[in-house]
Amino acid sequence: MDTVTHALIGAVLYRSIRTEHLPKAEKRALLFTSLAGSELPDIDVVSQLWDTGGQYLMWHRGITHSVFLVPVWAALLTAAARLWWRVADKRIFPLAMLAVFVHITTDIFNPWGTGYWEPFSRERVAIGTVPIIDLVMWAIILAGYLLSRFGRWPRHLVFRAAACLLVLEIASQTVQGLIVKHSFADRYDQVVLAADFLPGSYKVIGKQGTTVDIHRASVWSQPVLLQRLTSAEQADLTPLFAQNPAARTLYQWAPMVVVVDTPERLAVYDPRFWDRGGSFLYESIDK
């Protein structure tokens, strides 16, 4: 998910707590825990500052998004909240656990994925059924805010209902996406998904030998072939990896790559992010 969505989810978590009777310091500590816990795993973006070997793809959403680090992040947030606001609310630690867990778990449904099982596995968990920015989730949160602001229902109950709807949205997107993916399974050796911004719509990328097809599909309509690509599977990528370390990282990181081998250029790119004639995850060298 993007930074804004994570922050909004953190706000939902905070608003789901009954805070009317609490002192101001405890309210602030709980708000800090909800928002910071919902953003903290993305602290890995600072690794761009010292990345000279093209490893940022591996580091971003890597170890900081490991499920095994959830209690570590929660302990740090709890300590920070208690030191700053001098409160010992027993809800702070479980709230921090929940906020961090929700962050790293929602991210596995995006095409980008996370190192969910690091350091025990370097496999990228990327289900690809929910877009980075899910406008339906934004609409649910906005509706929750409006109902809590102008409705008659208790605020914490409204936002608990909103949280349940967010879970249902992710579940609905995922069930539909997996059904679509399964419908392509017998056509290709490998199939990956990348959710579109339109709810229930997916890019399905299938690879068979040297052919890579990109379809747009949903459970409600017939698939449409958007692009057919050819991958130079027999190309020697040694010079590319030697001269452009980021290409090796991309090759290891992506569940599927397309290889380009022309008289002018040697390159690899991730077809999940193909749009308007190219992929923004593209690494190359000139020959």
What integer is the mean pLDDT of 59-86? 92
Is the pLDDT at 52 greater than 80? The verdict is: no
Question: pLDDT by residue (tens digit) across 92-118?
Answer: 999 999 999 999 999 999 999 899 999
Is the pLDDT at 48 greater than 80? The verdict is: no
d(C-alpha 171, C-alpha 80), whole Å? 34
Greatest CA span in the chain, whole angstroms?
A: 71
Residue 61 corresponds to which tokens in the numbers above? 């959403």
- Split at pLDDT 50, 70, 90, the class of 44 is confident
Indicate the average pLDDT of the chain.
93
What integer is the mean pLDDT of 18-28? 91
- pLDDT value, residue 51: 65
Range 69-72, long-range pairs (CB < 8 A, 24+ positions): 69/41, 69/100, 70/97, 70/100, 70/101, 70/104, 71/97
- pLDDT value, residue 45: 82
d(C-alpha 139, C-alpha 121), whole Å? 36
Contact (Cβ atoms closer than 8 angstroms) between residue 99 and residue 34: yes
Q: Determine what percent of the chain is predicted with pLDDT higher than 70.
A: 99
Is the pLDDT at 91 greater than 80? The verdict is: yes
d(C-alpha 37, C-alpha 167), whole Å? 18
- The pTM score is 0.92
Is the pLDDT at 127 greater than 70? The verdict is: yes
- The sign of the torsion formed by the CA atoms of 45, 51, 57, 59 equals negative
